[in-house]
């Protein structure tokens, strides 16, 4: 089963704070550890929302709004795609990762597979 | 069950699930680290399990700590040191009797360069050690490196639980008797040992990909474990092109798992598969690995070559756009480094696709008489396909029936019988040749 694990911005990261060297090292070690258990399929981190935009749809109306956006804690800061046997396994990885990156929240969501669509 | 009970029940089962997840994620590294410390695999597994049992008792009462893995590693390390102390104390007692000295040396610290990655690689090397039989390697690897329970290993290998348990005990005994140490082998030996590890992973994947017994067509869980192992090995040896080749091959083969069977469980051949149902994430991963192998200077090893062949199929958005000339050339290269009737069979099929059925049959015919190919159902099946394309339907039908009689499982048998019936209806002209990659992954044949 695949899970998408998404973590969210904090006020600090939205204001452009980059991870400290210690944090970067801890994240690097953690990613290596996850990779060596064979569960990491991929993942990325994103810049603060001031570097991005939002496209909103209301009926036929489409609006493009440039960042930054309010409510840092509602903004995705990055994701990882995990290939694990159970939700509990994905949660354990999310828990560790969240503690290292210092996010306020990590969402763990199951990926819809081709076999789920039959 | 009242509301309180059901809440309690779900709390307990949530805890059980978490514990299982922690065990699965941590046990390989836990066992690896302890094995390096105490030098014995069996003792290491016992200590890891003791640490886990201690954890369960503690956490049932107090709840899980923020970092359960760290707690487990500390506890296991404590237990390991305790064990070494007790052994030392035992020896010291003898020494004391002799010399009246009561100094007990504290155990040595972990070597500082022993990273977790090296520990894990060491564990993999041990589980896949050449002194062990192929069966023992598979069982030990699934148990120790994948963190499966004995029951799960038995299910994965379609073997009785007692047999698997015994196999694992014997394997550990064999390792001890052969004085296998936990040290990482030096360069030349390391290459040989890595090859042994790749073989174990490849066999596990094959076992799942084309079940050799029983009525079930694929055993996806086993494929998944093999993939996970290959990813682990590739993460631990990121510049080893053959390991990257193996991973690329497995990712691309696994990308077709969902497309290999139809809704009633029948086999769908590679050329007939709905390519929209291929897993494009896995394909991207596989193709990226193939590019990386090129970037590292290429590899002419058998896994990298098979990966390159699988990549040719993966790149073709339609069956018709398959680059058969490239595939035939890759099989030529594969036949040179790894000559086997199975490779020859696949080469013949690729050649027939690239240059016509007559060319392919010319390569197949000499194989038909070979004793090692007797009873190998894919050979008459392939010859039947080519005869179909050449318009020889009666001959094709006989060959399909011969293949069906030799098929190792019911699903393949049914599929082949259906092809034979289609010959009779002269529908066969429009039916493309069978799945090349199914035979391509049956290299366990001599």
- The rounded distance, in Å, linking the Cα atoms of B15 and B34 is 25
What is the DSSP secondary-structure string of B251-319? HHHHTTGGGSB-TTS-B--GGGS-GGGS-HHHHHHHHHHHHHHHHTT---SHHHHHHHHHHHHHH-SSG
Residue B373 and residue B367 in contact, taking contact as beta carbons nearer than 8 Å: yes
Q: Give the CB-side neighbour count of residue B293, counting CA atoms within 13 A.
A: 29
Contact B25 A93 (CB under 8 A): yes
Contacts of B224 in chain A (CB under 8 A): 83
Q: Are A49 and A9 in contact (CB under 8 A)?
A: yes
Beta-bridge partners for A76: A8
Q: How far is CA B12 from CA B9, B24, B59, B152, in A?
A: 5, 18, 11, 22
Orientation of helix B41-62 relative to helix B68-99, angle to 10°? 130
Tokens 């994947």, located at residue: B205
Mean pLDDT of B183-189: 84
How far is the C-alpha of B404 from the C-alpha of B41, rounded, in Å?
45
From CA B205, how far away is CA B211, in angstroms rounded?
A: 10
- To probe the interface with A, which of B17, B19, B25 has the most A CB atoms within 10 Å? B25
Give this prediction's pTM: 0.82
Contact indicator for B127, B140 with CB cutoff of 8 Å: yes
- B18, B24, B120 ranked by CB distance to A36: nearest: B120
Task: Name the residue among A38, A96, A115 with its Cβ closest to that of B231.
Answer: A38
B329 pLDDT band (50/70/90 cuts)? very high
Written as six digits, the tokens of B410 are 């019911």
Model confidence pLDDT, tens digit, residues B102-141: 444 444 444 333 477 888 899 999 999 999 999 999 999 9
DSSP letter, residue A103 = -
Return mean pLDDT, chain A.
91
The pLDDT, as a whole number, for residue B156 is 82
**A30-62 per-position pLDDT tens digit:** 888 888 889 999 899 999 999 999 999 999 999
Is residue B219 pLDDT above 80, yes or no?
no
Contact (CB<8Å) B20/A88: yes
Taking residues B234-256, report their average pLDDT: 95
Q: Which percentage of chain B shows pLDDT scores above 70?
A: 85
Supply the pLDDT for residue B109: 43
How many residue pairs bridge chain A and chain B with CB atoms within 8 Å of each other?
64
pLDDT at B2: 53
Bond before B194 cis per omega within 30 degrees: no
Task: Tell me: pLDDT of B283 over 90.
Answer: yes
Dihedral sign of CA atoms B336, B338, B339, B340 in order? negative
3-state secondary structure of A87: helix
Which has the closest alpha carbon to B204: B161, B270, B254? B254
Residue B439 has pLDDT above 60, yes or no: no
Task: Note whether A88 contacts B: Cβ–Cβ < 8 A.
Answer: yes
Using the predicted structure, report yes or no on whether residue B36 has a pLDDT greater than 90. Answer: no
Query: How wide is the angle at C-alpha B332 spanned by C-alphas B326 and B336, nearest 5°?
Result: 150
Per-residue tokens: B224: 């998944």
Q: How far apart are CA A66 and CA A50, in angstroms?
A: 7
CB B379 within 8 A of CB B368: yes
| Percent of chain B topping pLDDT 90 | 42
Report which of A67, A72, A74, A92 is spatially closest to residue A82, judged by C-alpha positions.
Answer: A92
Half-sphere exposure of B232 (CA within 13 A, CB side): 29
From B191's Cα to the closest Cα of chain A, the distance in A is: 19
Residue B180 — pLDDT band, cuts 50, 70, 90?
confident
Task: Report the pLDDT value the prediction gives residue A82, as an integer from 0 to 100.
Answer: 95
Backbone angles phi, psi at A56, to 5 degrees: -110, 140
In a mutational test of the B interface, the residue from A41, A44, A85 whose CB has the highest number of chain B CBs within 10 Å is A85
How many Å apart are CA B362 and CA B294, to the nearest integer?
A: 33
| Residue among B347, B275, B343 at smallest CA distance from B314 | B275
- A79 Rama class: left (phi>0) / alpha (psi -120 to 50) / beta: beta
Please report the pLDDT score of residue B4 as a whole number.
Answer: 58
- pLDDT of B363 strictly over 50: yes
Beta carbons of A41 and B281 less than 8 Å apart: yes
> Residue B357, Cβ neighbours under 10 Å: how many?
22
Question: Does the pLDDT value for residue B399 go beyond 60?
Answer: yes
Kindly state the average pLDDT of the residues B312-339: 94
Instruction: Identify the contact set of chain B against chain A, taking CB-CB distances under 8 A.
Output: 14, 17-18, 20-22, 24-25, 28, 66-69, 116-117, 120, 224, 227-232, 235-236, 258, 263, 277, 279, 281, 285
């Amino acid at each position: 089963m695949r899970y998408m694990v998404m973590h969210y911005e904090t006020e600090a990261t939205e204001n452009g704070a980059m991870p400290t060297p210690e944090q970067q090292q801890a994240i690097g070690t953690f990613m290596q550890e996850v990779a060596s258990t064979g569960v990491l399929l991929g993942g990325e981190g994103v810049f603060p929302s001031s570097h991005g935009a939002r496209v909103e749809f209301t009926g036929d109306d489409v609006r493009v709004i440039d960042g930054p956006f309010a409510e840092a804690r509602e903004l995705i800061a990055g994701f990882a795609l995990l290939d694990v046997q159970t939700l509990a396994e994905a949660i354990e990885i999310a828990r560790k990762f969240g503690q290292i990156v210092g996010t306020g929240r990590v969402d763990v969501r199951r990926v819809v597979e081709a076999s789920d669509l039959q | 069950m009242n509301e309180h009970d059901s809440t309690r029940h779900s709390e307990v089962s949530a805890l059980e699930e978490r514990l299982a997840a922690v065990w699965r994620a941590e046990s390989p590294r836990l066992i690896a680290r302890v094995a390096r410390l105490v030098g014995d695999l069996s003792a290491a597994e016992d200590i890891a399990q003791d640490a886990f049992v201690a954890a369960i008792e503690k956490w049932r009462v107090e709840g899980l700590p923020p970092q359960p893995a760290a707690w487990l590693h500390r506890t296991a390390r404590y237990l390991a040191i305790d064990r070494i102390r007790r052994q030392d104390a035992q020896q010291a007692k003898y020494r004391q009797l002799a010399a009246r000295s009561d100094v007990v040396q504290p155990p040595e610290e972990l070597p500082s360069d022993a990273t977790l990655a090296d520990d894990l690689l060491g564990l993999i090397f041990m589980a896949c050690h050449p002194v062990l039989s192929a069966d023992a390697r598979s069982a030990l690897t699934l148990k120790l490196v994948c963190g499966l329970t004995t029951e799960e290993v038995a299910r994965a290998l379609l073997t009785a639980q007692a047999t698997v348990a015994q196999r694992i005990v014997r394997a550990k005994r064999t390792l001890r008797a052969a004085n296998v140490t936990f040290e990482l082998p030096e360069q030349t030996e390391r290459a040989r040992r890595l090859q042994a590890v790749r073989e174990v992973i490849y066999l596990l994947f094959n076992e799942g990909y084309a079940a050799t017994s029983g009525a079930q067509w694929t055993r996806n869980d086993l494929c998944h474990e093999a993939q996970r192992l290959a990813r682990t090995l590739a993460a631990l040896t990121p510049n080893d092109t053959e390991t990257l080749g193996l991973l690329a091959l497995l990712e691309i083969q696994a990308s077709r798992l969902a497309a290999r069977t139809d809704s009633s469980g029948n086999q769908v051949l590679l050329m007939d598969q709905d390519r929209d149902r291929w897993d494009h994430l896995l394909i991207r991963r596989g193709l990226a690995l193939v590019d990386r192998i090129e970037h590292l200077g290429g590899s002419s090893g058998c896994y990298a070559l098979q990966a390159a062949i699988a990549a040719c199929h993966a790149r073709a958005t339609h069956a018709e756009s398959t680059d058969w000339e490239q595939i035939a050339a890759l099989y030529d290269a594969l036949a040179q480094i790894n000559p086997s009737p199975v490779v020859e069979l696949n080469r013949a099929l690729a050649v027939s696709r690239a240059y016509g059925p007559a060319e392919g049959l010319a390569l197949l015919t000499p194989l038909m008489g070979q004793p090692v190919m007797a009873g190998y159902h894919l050979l008459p099946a392939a010859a039947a396909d080519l005869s179909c394309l050449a318009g020889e339907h009666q001959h094709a039908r006989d060959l399909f029936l011969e293949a069906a009689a030799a098929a190792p499982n019911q699903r393949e048998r049914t599929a082949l019988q259906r092809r034979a019936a289609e010959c009779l209806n002269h529908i066969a002209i429009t039916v493309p040749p069978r799945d090349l990659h199914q035979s391509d992954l049956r290299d366990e044949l001599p």
